[in-house]
Every structure is written in C-alpha cells, then in structure tokens.
Amino acid sequence: MPRSASSDNSAEFAATLYERSGAAAYGMNADQFAAILDDILRKYLLSTSSANPSPSNSSHVSAEQKADFYAGLRLEELTLARACAAGNERAWQDFISRFRQKLHKMALHITRDSASAAELADSLFADLYGVNARDGVRNSKLVSYTGRGSLEGWLRTVMAQEFINRYRKQKRTVSLEEQIEEGVQFAAPANPERTSARVSGGASDQHLESATDEALAELSAEDRFTLASYYLDGRTLAEIARTLGLHESSVSRRLDRLATALRKRILAGLRMRGMSHARAAEALEADVRDLQLDLRSRLTQDSSAKTFPGSSGKVPVQGPGESAD
Amino acid sequence: MTEVPKIVHDRLRAAALDQGLPATNAAEPNHPDPDLLTAFAEQSLSLAERDGVLEHLVLCVDCRDTVALALPAENVVAIPISPESGAIQAPAPHPSKPAPRRVFAWPSLRWAALAAGVVVVGSVFLLRPGKLNQSNQPSASQRIAPTKLPPPAAASSTTDHGAVASNPDEANLITVTPQSKKAADPRFTVQQSLAPHPAEHAMLLARNNKSPRQPGGLANSPGSTALALDNSAGQETAAETNRSATATTAVSAASELSSSPANPALMANSDAPAIEKAKPAAPGTTQMNELAPSDADQQKETDSALAPALRARARASAAKLEIAASQKSATGFAQHDVAQNDFAWAINSGVLRRSEDSGQTWQDNLRADHPLLCYASRGNEIWTGGQGGTIYHSVDGGMTWVQVRPSSNGRQLASDINRIDLGSSNLASNNLGSNVTQGPAKIVLSSGNHEIWISVDDGKTWEIK
C-alpha cells in the first residue's frame, strides 16, 4: 500500500511538473517530458551518487532530493529549448521572438566589436538551430540545455565559451608564430626536474612555496576563487561580487582580510620551518622577483584533472549538436 | 587594496597547472557544462555543487573567464543580498586541517574585529561630511554667537527655545494666541500644530536628562536654521506674536530662565547654526544681521528681559513648518527624529529602531542584511540606507519596507550610503515655505565614494552627480 501511495504521489507530482512546464503547447506529451527530466536527474544527481554506489542512494534521491531538484529547474525554458531542438515551429517562433535580438546584444557585450558580435551571434544561432544536420536529423545545441539556470544565462555562457575558444585558438596560432620567430624551436627542451630545482633555488624557496601552499589550502574554495579572480585574472570587485552574489564592498573587505591573513599564515609557516621572523619576512618580501617558474613546461605537462559529473568530456564549449550527456 | 605576496600569485597559478588544467589550453576535459556555470552565476546551485564548481574555477582560468564574460551586461540579475559571513560559511573549511586554521585564525579574528570596529567608527566620522559638519556647527557657533548676537538675547532665545520644545502646552499657547496677520496664514497654523521638532526635543532631553540619548541635542540645530531662513522675512510677525503672547507664557518662560541660567554652550549652540545657515541666502543674511539689533530695540520697547526669549520662541514655532516638512529630511543622519505620526526613529548598531511613545521605549523596526547608517523621514515616508548600497523605503511609517536598488546607466549603487536627504523636488517652493510636503520627494543619497545620487520620482530613476 505505501508503495502505491508513493507511486500515486509521484505520478501526481509528474503531472504537476508537466502542467507547469507548458510542454503541451509545444506538442510534447507527458512521457517525453518525463524522459527529459529523468535524463537530467541522472546526469546531475545520480551521477554524483554513483561515485559511492549503494542501493540506498538511488531511492534516497528519488524520494527526497528529486522533488527539490525538479523544483529548481527552469521547466518552462527547458521545454522551450527541447521543443526547439525537436524542431517544433511554434517553439522556434517563441525562441526567436524572445532571444534573437538578445543574442546580438549578448555577443556585443562579450566581443565589444560589432562585426565580431554579429559573427559570434550568427554562429551560435546556427548551432542552436542545428544546421549541421546528420542523416537528415537536425542536431541542435539546445538539446544540451538542462534548465539548471536560466536559458538566457545559458546562452550567454555558451556564447562566452565559444568566444574564449576562438580567442584561445587565435592566441595559440599567434603565439606559435611568435615562438618560431624567436627561434624557440632551437632551444633545448625544458627539463622538468632541472626546472623544479631551479625554481626551488634553495631551502628557503622550498619553505616559502610549501608554506604558501599550506596557507592557500586552508582557505575555502570561494576565498581562493576570489583571490584568483582578482589577482590572476584582474577582475574588478564588481565582477567578482556579481559572480558570487555579494556586494562589492564585501569582496573588497574579503580581499583585504585574505591578504592580511595569508601573509601572517605564510610567515607563521616559515617560522614553523625553523626560520626566524626577520628571515621569514625577508624571504616573503624578496621572493618571486628571483623566482622563475617555468610556466611553459608546466603547461605541457599532462596530469589528471577533476572530473565533473555530467561533463561532456570535451572542450568547455560543446561542438554543434553534441550532447552534454 | 592590500596586496598579497607575489608568491601567492605564483602558487595559485602553479596549483592550476599542477592540476592539469592549463590556463591556455582549452582542449582539456572535465570542465563543468554551461548549465552548471550558469546556475553557479545565478546562485541557484546547491552548496555541494557550488563548492565543486568553485574548486574547479579556482584551477581553471577558462571557466573563470567564461563566468565573467557571461555576466549580464546590465545589473538586471537579482543579486541576493547576503552578509559576507553567510557566503564564507557556505564553503566548508578544508577538511584536512581544520584545527590549525581555528587556532591561527581566532586571535587574528579578534584583532580584526577590533580593527574593523575602529575602522567603522573612524569611517563614519570621516566619510560622513554632512554629519561632521553638522556636529561641528555647535563648536563653530560658540565662537560666532557672542560676536553676532548680544549675549542676553542669545541666552534668552536659547533657553526659551528649549522651553518651547520641552513644554508642548506652551507651544500650543503660542500657537493659539497670536493675532497677527501671519497667524491667519494656513501655513503658519499648520506648522504650529506640528509636533515639536526633534531638534528642540533633543535639546530638551539634553537639558533635562530625560533621555539616555542626547547626541542629537547639538546636531538638531537645523531647526534654528529653518527659523532663520523662513522667518527672517516675517520677523515682524514673530515680534507681534511675542508681544501678543499671554502673561502666562511670559511667566513660564521666565521660570525657565530663572531655573536654568543661561548656559553659554547651549545658547551658542542654538543660535549659531541659524547664523551659519543664513549665510548662503543673501536676503536671509542681511535680515539676520539686522535681526539682532532689532531684537535689542524690541526688547527695549517691550521693556522686558523676556521679550527676546518669547520672540525667539515664536520664531522657533514658526519654523516648525520647515522643520517638520523639509528640514526633517535633512536631519536624516541625526540620532532620532519624530515624524508626523509621532514615531521617533533612531539607528542603533546598524538597526533602524522606532519608538511609538516619543522615545520612552524603542523597538527594532528594520534589520537589513547590511548595517544601516542613516535615514530620512517625511511624515509616514521613511528612507534608510546603509552599507553596500542598502536602501529601504517605507511609505507607511515602517510597517512595510521595500528594498530599492538605485542604478543609473547600468551602474548599480553599491557603496555605503552615508546620508539621505529627503525633501520636495521643488526646492524653490521649499525655501518659500509653501507646499513642502506636497509632490514627490527628492531623494539625495550621499555615498561613501563621494557620489551624489538623486531621484525625483520616489526612487524609480536615479541620476549621479
């Protein structure tokens, strides 16, 4: 009996979601809609729990987290995107009326150049429409949209990834030409071990690096993200604040706090490694100007990276028609 | 911005490289998909997912660039206002070394809290020029008052100024008894029917020690300012009002004088701001300069030492229109205020508090995500602002609040709000004393980065000056 009651509730919940999504307007029936939701659920929730496979995981997900997960999805926009991917004309009309102009504005915001913006927007629209048909089947990029965020935000993200890919590609090409001009191909290949030894320099450098690594490791991911965005990427306080959902002043205060705390922690770490306070301070101030990290050798090294659940395993920007599944 | 040691830059960069997420090689797998990045930027991920994305973003410059580039062009994304503490608590501390971090962080946190307190207090005084100027007015006035006004007149007017505020019955008495032509002026009648101005109220409290909060005593002198500007042209009316004051009023004022001998500080504090504020207005200046001698003459004519006091009292009551209508908004950063609905307002420790019994008891009315710093009120309309561009608006005396997010040309106000001026959008009519409580309010925000944000349509659109 409890099982039937549970299944009744599940069916009722599914019907509610279907009604909320407006999928019927695009000719999508309840089964198709449920299949889409199941795919998304499997991609995000079940894939994360698959790392620790246990019989209770799937039931736990289906019982408690499922409703919360579905409640957080943009069902209406998900339906629109999937209906567009399926070639529904009405859905395309809605999509074009809602996003066609916005695509150009987004592209202009990203590229800051009208010609590049038009090219980028048209290229993305072609990918969304799925002009690269295979076997008569249109492969739309919209099929990879899962409704985790807004459709407009997703379009911006996809466009930004495409722009970065193009930029990197162009930069690599230019960089290679520059290297050839500089005669880099005649230089001796970098020896990682020797480079490491040179980087380390002496014991104090090793201590400094390890103390810094420890201090950074004690920070939260958000703190490290803030540091990397501000100091490595040169992002503004406003950009970081908007990314993290904070106020600019909060980010400013956080950066000040982190800078002070990091310096103290590194000094404390150096003292723990037997350095006097004065020597530790001197090492902290004098370092890095002489420290030469051979970034190029590190760029070429190949090591494993953290796998993301549901990741395509491809380039950040998926190719046209490629599914994220 | 405090700089971090350069070794931190390099180790952050090296950590990304060690993790196999090269900064310049986009052909690397295992990046979060656009859905996750979008949901991350829109703050709609679960904590666990958010931490995962953050861990990746720390190591992946490509995805950081993607997230940054994908931010909307305008500030149309509703950024949830959450205190930094919540954002910091969200990511779990590093699981492997929690204890050393606490041991290390605790003393620094205490010092940081102390330093933050000092910084906050210091910044309040440094970054709020309006309040600073206002609080400095009394000290400046102490030097100016003896030279500008005859000491007896200043003493009597000051003391009587407090007496008017302290005794509502006397105020009513003055309101009713004048038979001058100005008394028939509706504006004049209305202003006298208003509640005592907070400046006077605060001065009363400062004198009688009836309230624990007295810092507004000196800062409330704008009441006298309005008096000078508004009634300088009508001083004849004020004099007539004084002369027609009843003997009862005179006796009570006399008792006030005798019971509390002229306090030099107080009398200077009361009148000097009137002089200073009158300076910008040329007519007002001349009239004010002529006011003191004419006061002395009238004092001789009435052959009473109390006449200037009564006249000052009448001027104070005549100024209540400006005080209650427009100048009340100018005292937005004063410690407390009394609105037309008898609500008194104050900001204590970043929380807006309201009193329904003229300051006897106080209740927290609005506690925003960020500490509130200032407020301004006009009748039932209350505006309050605080750190991080926090602005709330209430049109029903604080019963309900609506958060306002000022933005101009795609730029959102995110700096601290140090001062709010709330007045009529028509400044000319304000100075003439007519219809100052009518029409949309002109909201002027002074932010921490020395910007002035102005709105004349109740906060719908803003302009930066």
Distance CA A22, CA A78 (A): 10
Whether chain A has a CB inside 8 Å of the CB on B75: the answer is yes
Q: Is A324 within 8 Å of B33 when comparing Cβ atoms?
A: yes
Write out the two tokens for B222: 């704008």
Q: Is A34 on the interface with B (CB under 8 A)?
A: no
**Helix axis angle, B282-302 relative to B235-243, nearest 10°?**
20
Are A271 and A283 in contact, with CB atoms under 8 Å apart? Answer: no
Tell me if chain A has a CB within 8 Å of the CB of B29.
yes
Confidence of residue B19 (pLDDT cuts 50, 70, 90): low
Note the Cα A316 to chain centre separation in Å. 8
Residue B360, pLDDT above cutoff 80: no
- Contact: B62, A316; criterion CB under 8 Å: yes
Which value, to the nearest 10 degrees, does the dihedral of the CA atoms of residues B172, B176, B180, B183 take? 70
> What does the pLDDT read at residue A158?
92
- Identify the band that residue B97 occupies on the pLDDT scale cut at 50, 70 and 90: very low
Q: Is B70–A156 a contact, with Cβ atoms under 8 angstroms apart?
A: yes
Tell me if residue B42 falls in helix, strand or coil. Answer: coil
CA distance B207 to chain A (A): 40
Tell whether the model's pLDDT for residue B349 goes beyond 60: yes
Q: For residue A283, what pLDDT is reported?
A: 78
Distances (CA, A) of B385 to A216, A270, A325, B376: 36, 45, 47, 9
Q: Write out chain A residues lying below 8 Å of B5, CB-based.
A: 212, 262-263, 266, 284-285, 287-288
Summarize the confidence of residues B273-294 as an average pLDDT: 39
Cβ contact, residue pair A218, B27, below 8 Å: no
The two structure tokens encoding residue A217: 């490791």
Q: How far apart are the C-alpha atoms of B231 and B321, rounded to whole Å?
A: 10
- Considering only residues A135 and B445, tell me which one the structure prediction assigns the higher pLDDT: B445
User: Is B71 within 8 Å of A147 when comparing Cβ atoms?
Assistant: no
The letter for the amino acid at B407 is: S
Domains (range + CATH), chain B: 6-71 (no CATH), 141-316 (no CATH), 328-464 (2.130.10.10)
Interface of A with B in 84-103 (CB under 8 A): none
Res. B74 pLDDT band, cuts 50 70 90: low
Q: Considering only A95-109, B120-134, B174-188, which range has the smallest mean pLDDT? A: B174-188
CA distance A247 to A238: 8
Rounded CA-CA distance B343/B357 in Å is 7
Question: Nearest 10 degrees: CA dihedral of A205, A211, A212, A216?
Answer: 160
- Look at residue B149 and tell me whether its pLDDT is greater than 70: no
Q: State the Cα–Cα distance between residues B105 and B112, nearest whole angstrom.
A: 10
B160 within 8 A of B312, measured Cβ to Cβ: yes
Question: pLDDT class for B362, splitting at 50, 70, 90?
Answer: confident
Determine, for residues B61 and A168 on separate chains, whether the beta-carbon distance falls below 8 Å: no
Neighbour order of strands in the sheet with B351-355: B336-338, B344-348, B351-355, B363-366
A172 lies within 8 A of chain B by CB:
yes
Cβ-in-10-Å burial (0-12, 13-18, 19+) of B131 comes to: buried
Q: What is the pLDDT of residue B465?
A: 77
Which of B20, B43, B57 is closest, CB to CB, to A302? Answer: B20
| Start-end of H helices in A112-234 | 114-129, 151-182, 192-200, 203-217, 221-227
Choose from A280-294, B224-238, B424-438 the range with maximum mean pLDDT: A280-294
The answer to whether A207 faces chain B, any CB pair under 8 Å, is: no
**Chain B partners of A178 at a C-beta cutoff of 8 Å?**
none
Q: Quick check: B198 pLDDT over 80?
A: no
Give the other-Cβ count within 10 Å of B151's Cβ.
13
Q: Which amino acid is at A55?
A: P
Of A105, A238, A288, the CB nearest to B6: A288
Q: Is the pLDDT of residue B380 over 70?
A: yes
Rounded CA-CA distance B57/A227 in Å is: 11
Q: Report how far residue B69's alpha carbon sits from residue A194's, in angstroms, rounded to the nearest whole number.
A: 38
Instruction: Report how many Cβ contacts below 8 Å link chain A to chain B.
Output: 305
Nearest CA to B228 out of B287, B145, B188, B171 is that of: B287
Average pLDDT over residues B220-228: 37
pLDDT of residue A301: 47
Residues of chain B with Cβ-Cβ distance to A107 below 8 Å are: none
Q: For residue B150, with 0-12 CB atoms within 10 Å meaning exposed, 13-18 middle and 19 or more buried, which class applies?
A: middle
The whole-number pLDDT of residue A78 equals: 92
Chain A residues touching residue B69 (CB < 8 angstroms): 110, 156, 160, 163-164
Please check the confidence at residue B144 and state whether its pLDDT lies above 70: no
**pLDDT over threshold 90, residue B61:** no
**Per the CB < 8 Å rule, is B72 touching A153?**
yes
Nearest to B82 by CA among B43, B40, B38: B43
Residue A254 pLDDT: 92
Q: What is the pLDDT of residue A127?
A: 87
Backbone angles phi, psi at B397, to 5 degrees: 65, 30
Q: Which residue has the higher pLDDT, B356 or B133?
A: B356
Q: Distance between CA B214 and CA B203 in Å, rounded?
A: 8
Alpha helices, DSSP H only, in B264-306? 264-278, 282-302
The whole-model pTM stands at 0.46
Closest CA to B435 of B443, B444, B426: B426
| Burial classification of residue A45, based on how many CB atoms lie within 10 Å of its CB (0-12 exposed, 13-18 middle, 19 or more buried) | buried
Residue A319 forms contact with B (CB below 8 Å): no
Q: What is the reported pLDDT for A61?
A: 66
Verify whether the Cβ–Cβ distance B34 to A293 is below 8 Å.
no
Handedness of CA A207, A213, A218, A222 (dihedral sign): positive
Q: Which residues pair with B353 in a beta bridge?
A: B346, B364
Q: What is the DSSP string of B81-138?
A: ---HHHHHHSSPPPSS-HHHHHHHHHHHHHHHHHHHHHHHHHHHHHS-HHHHHHHHHH
Nearest CA in chain A to B105: A261
CB atoms within 10 A of CB B287: 19
Distance, CA of B374 to CA of B386 (rounded, Å)? 6
ipTM above 0.90, yes or no: no
Which residues of chain A, if any, have pLDDT below 50? 1-3, 50-58, 190-200, 288-306, 310-325
Please give the pLDDT value at position B304.
46
